Structure 1
């Protein structure tokens, strides 16, 4: 078989518990169409070890948005993200697959597995932060301390696997909101341009990587208007704040810079390669 037919299929343990039938179907389709090696990690260390030892096999992960984000993060930290395309078969609760949907990955087990085998690698943008973290689709910094209840920082990643994730994504929900009208004081800069300073409280900051630029939205609330712009580098600083990077909540931090990386990674999607890829 040719190199593209050599797959390493890493199956998230939560996906196995949540929907074993979909996992079985996806595995059967992948094994029927390729020389697939199946890996069943029990935790983050085994997940990392499996990816690191993939050799020439093309990595495929079965799981939800957190699984995809973990795989991309590990490859980014190893400086191997640009080397090959990553594939995803989404399995998880509906709210835990929002990033997968936004990226164009089919959410049905058969359709997603067929896309792994027959689809094309599409280069996508991401945001890389100054702590070696990544954002694949959406970054949000809402006001209010309620985000503390869903802390998904790297330091707690192990407990997320061992305990919280056993609840089958009951913690995966929309970004927690603070009290109505809650604001925080943040300094927001986009390519050096000051969008908001500490004396101008904001309700929400959103950043999205799209079409070679980071779309930045700063919501002030109470009739103060909304500021929108595009940039390559976004820096947020101020009192301790938490932020949501796709499916994970991180922090608290006092300063973080996100840099747009155009075409930094490849994801296998249905259909032919788009123009310019």
Structure 2
């Protein structure tokens, strides 16, 4: 299954006898909770998934959105109706940066049939596809979560990758440079990391850039064949979209994916002994 799906292609699948499970993972960093958006209108049959409660463990030294435990994640996914072998489509408000977290978690858990809706809810409605406020009745799924199918970095490994391989920082340039830090304990970036804002994946129309354009962007950032690449962001959410974009671009594959520093800057900056770089250069 290609990691991105268009609204038109999803609409066709939803009209079949065996439609994919559709999950609404709209979320806002600064609130308010997006469940109210879901209640007002969502894709037909979509189930709401809460990023903070369902797709993350309790915030702490490991970060603001640590990876959920396998048992917890399995329960959430089964309640949402996900079974082995059944395709899943995740969507957020638009750019895919939040839906990519669910895409990444499912892939990490061993479920390969998962895609992100290109353009999200905004593209779906802009193209005239139907929405509903009806909450679907869901038959529980049987998915088994088996963590470890995608590589994960801890802080020590992330620091080493930034020095010896390639570590991409998905945050906005001003946060990377250390000019502002609205959330975490310190401003700046992991020394050696290269800024690769996740907003660069999206074109002017709100949908994802094509594979060739993404591949050219990543080459400019230093991605090269045979060179290990990892990604981080503020708390491990939007960095998932970098892992997704690398696969869409064809510079990584499902068999050789990019790594995710799951704790990201919220984990790195929580330890005052860790070095911090500022400015435009990796440092």
**TM-score normalised according to structure 1 size:** 0.37
**TM-score normalised according to structure 2 size:** 0.37
> Highest Rg: 1 or 2?
1
Point out the structure with the larger strand share. Answer: 1
